[in-house]
Structure 1
Amino acid sequence: MSPHRIALLFNANKVYDRQVIAGIGHYLNSTRVEWDLFMEEDFRSRMRDIHHFKGDGVIADFDDPEAQAALSDLHIPVVAVGGSYHDPSHYPAGVPYIATDNTRLVRLAYDHLIEQGLSRFAFFGIPSHPGSRWAQERERAFLAIVGQESVEGVVHEGHSTTAGGWGAAVEELVAWLTALPKPIGIIAVTDARARQLLQACVIGGIAVPEQVAIVGIDNDPMAQLLTRIPLTSVIQGAEEMGRTAAHLLHQMLRGVDCSTTRVLVPPVGINVQASSRYQPLRSPHVMRASHYIRQYGCLGIKTEQVADYVGVSRTVLEEHFKRELKQTVHQAILQHKLDTACQLIADSDAPLADIAVRCGFTSLQYMYAVFRREYDCTPRQYLDRHRTADAATAEHRDP
């Protein structure tokens, strides 16, 4: 029996789509299902010629407004993947639909900011257009949450990003951030928009997270690479969406009627990083210095450079640090290097020598010496402890 020919209609330049596709791949690799998969060579989703597709089934991103119209009269099984809707009538009729739960994505981000002790909130979305229905759903969810809890919340959609309009868009974003009451927690509709917030805060001299704490959605590795301040982000259950979609299509190919199936997939969790670890600071000097250290602490900066950035003498800055944080500026820089190193050791496969360089240690030997002094273990022992703790947590969750 020849493999079924299946079209995957996704824009794999987006991390969410890539994760859904990965989930489909995991399903195929964990079962005996054999599919001959079609995707555009540049991994874009195009509806052109789809009616001439001589295949057996389709899994498509229905956040694309063209998808529903183009696939509505296709006489082969179709499984839809997309965002959830508060109004059930907005779901497409007659096709199984696997949705990321937009309300729970926003709720997880909001609850995290609440736990940080914040009481003001904002949402940074994108301008409304036919392809951004998922973004409007997240914006609506935010407004519903702050409305229910009677807390202060504002929405800003900003401008679409283009090369020509980038300068004006950043200036407008800096002006909006500057005018916000502070401290405030901001939920960005995606990590891409969260990255713009971080850039604007750097340009505007706004301390993150002491003045503005930021949470994105997607947990996009690319966004992390392109920001100096590590970004907190909600992790969508996109791979589970892909596995569920593949399972449903597999059932449909065997004759099972799944046309009324609708599955809401909750977020996996939240990757907490520096952008949202809010701690109230009274001293504006410490706030500004901490913001600078988070951006450049791994680049070999010294106390004098931090004091120059803040605009005070080293003596004055040290006094503020000792009073507010009970540590010196040098100790704060070293702690930032250690925190970054621990994160990289736990979350990446990079060689320890590379991690030492990336974190601003003069050598691998020096990083070892600092780990022994501060944590009473070597970096490799720290990694072993982290893996053991993760294994114990996984065993507890899934006995």
Structure 2
Amino acid sequence: MQLELEWPFKRHAGIFAGTQKYAGEHSWQSIVDENPDATLQKYSGNPASYDGIIARATGKLARRAARANIPVVNVWLSSPAAASLPGVFPDYSAQGRLRAEHLLTRGFSHFAALTADENRGESLELEAFTNTVREAGYRCASAKVSLDAFSGIHWRRTERTIATWMSGWKRPIGIYIGTELLGRVVAQACHNRGWRVPEDVAIIAGRNEEMLCESLHPTLSSMEVGYDHIGYEAARLLDRLMNGEPPPRGPILIPPEGVVVRESTDFFAVDDPLIAAALRFIAANSHLEIGQDDVARAVDTGSRTLQRRFQKHLKRPIAAEIRRVRIERAKRELAQGSLPLKEIARKVGFGETMQMYTVFRRDLGVTPSQYRKDRENRQT
């Protein structure tokens, strides 16, 4: 394995975990080798110490493995050897579409994106994001920064790029950002300008590195890629190659598991100020025992009037929006911790465990316990 395991990111550790799951099921002996190209050179002309390689493959590794007739599965789309090696990658285009669809369903009509230059995955994601927004009749203001955005002179350039990019926004706006770190930078820049997240700027960023997404407020909505699945499928492909099967004609693309919704996009953008005020009240008070009459009183209008406006702008009743907010917050609690179901039900506004159970079964097709178990399985 050559996966840069000193970096505790999912794209490394998750893929490694997936390969080891497959290895354990098939009684493989795994070797972690940070320099497999050097190992192959050392054993030049002699049997190598392994039968196959899963790696973020360099060009040198690809050449030496080919000379030694050792199959390699590449899990790094930006690899210089990506075109010559069989690979297993995230479906970046599907991720881009999901990000755009998530923001579109939040009611946004202005969009922007910030990605790293020379990153093939983010380029594919940006293209799909932009195309999906365009198909809905809108435009996307995109900007790119260096892969070394946080170092020296590049950081000062990055700050200028972000400032210029943000100055052209028309709010409220939904934005896609390639990494969680840049997502944090933009969220802070919004705060410095007095802009609210998510009311003025809704942010979906990166690939669900929990420490970066959940440790600060606002918590960041992100994309759960399923890197463990990529690792497992990479090991399955390597198994076939080691048994003499031909490589697939193209890369194997693994669809994302979905958007993890957090505070940074937990909002609906609407032009109607009455609806906007009602949504803010629901977001701030959904953990309490509130109903449509409470929401109407909070925005100083009649229940019937507000109900008609909800149906016109959001295509659903007030009660459905209250329920949606509670579900999203319950999902976060279930995914992020080990609080008892009874405590979560009270904390997010369902009151009783059975009420939360009924809503989850009806709206999501799973029980709260099943949802938590599914999330835990994806992370192991």
Q: Same fold (TM over 0.5)?
A: yes
2:245 pairs with one of 237, 248, 256: 256
* Residue pairs, 1:2-17, within 5 angstroms: 7-11=1-5, 12-17=7-12
Q: Which amino acid aligns with 2:93?
A: T
- 1:68 positional shift: 4.7
- 1:155 positional shift: 0.7
Deviations 1:216-269 (A, max 9, x none): 231111212343112111211322211111011122223333364631111111
- 1:133 positional shift: 2.4
What's the TM-score, normalizing by structure 2?
0.69
Deviations 1:88-136 (A, max 9, x none): x99523x3221211111100101111111112211111133xxx22222
Q: Do the aligned partners of residues 110 and 37 (structure 1) sit closer, same or farther apart at CA in structure 2, a change above 3 Å counting? A: same
Conservation of the 8 A alpha-carbon contact between 1:8 and 1:37: no
Distance in 2, matches of 1:343 and 1:373, equals: 10
Q: Do the aligned partners of residues 391 and 35 (structure 1) sit closer, same or farther apart at CA in structure 2, a change above 3 Å counting? A: same
What SS class does the counterpart of residue 23 from structure 2 fall into? helix
Conservation of the 8 A alpha-carbon contact between 2:335 and 2:372: no
* 2:13 is the alignment partner of 1:18: yes
What SS class does the counterpart of residue 19 from structure 1 fall into? helix
Distance in 2, matches of 1:320 and 1:177, equals: 36
2:126 pairs with one of 123, 139, 144: 139
* 2:152 is the alignment partner of 1:161: no
Distance in 1, matches of 2:141 and 2:218, equals: 24
Q: Which amino acid aligns with 2:142?
A: V
Cα RMSD (Å) of the superposition? Answer: 4.6
Distance in 2, matches of 1:345 and 1:393, equals: 9
* 2:98 is the alignment partner of 1:103: no
- 1:79 positional shift: 0.9
- 1:343 positional shift: 5.0
Deviations 1:288-327 (A, max 9, x none): xx69x98xxxxxxxxxxxxxxxxxxxxxxxx99644999x
Distance in 1, matches of 2:20 and 2:331, equals: 28
Aligned to 1:185: 174
Q: Do the aligned partners of residues 206 and 84 (structure 1) sit closer, same or farther apart at CA in structure 2, a change above 3 Å counting? A: same
Distance in 1, matches of 2:129 and 2:201, equals: 17
How many matched pairs? 330
- 1:172 positional shift: 4.9
Conservation of the 8 A alpha-carbon contact between 1:83 and 1:101: no
Q: Which amino acid aligns with 2:98?
A: L
Q: Which runs of 5+ in 1 are unaligned?
A: 1-6, 295-318, 327-334, 356-363
Percent of aligned pairs sharing the same letter: 21
Aligned to 2:111: 121
* 2:121 is the alignment partner of 1:92: no
Conservation of the 8 A alpha-carbon contact between 1:170 and 1:200: no
* 2:376 is the alignment partner of 1:376: no
Q: Do the aligned partners of residues 393 and 198 (structure 1) sit closer, same or farther apart at CA in structure 2, a change above 3 Å counting? A: closer
What SS class does the counterpart of residue 156 from structure 1 fall into? strand
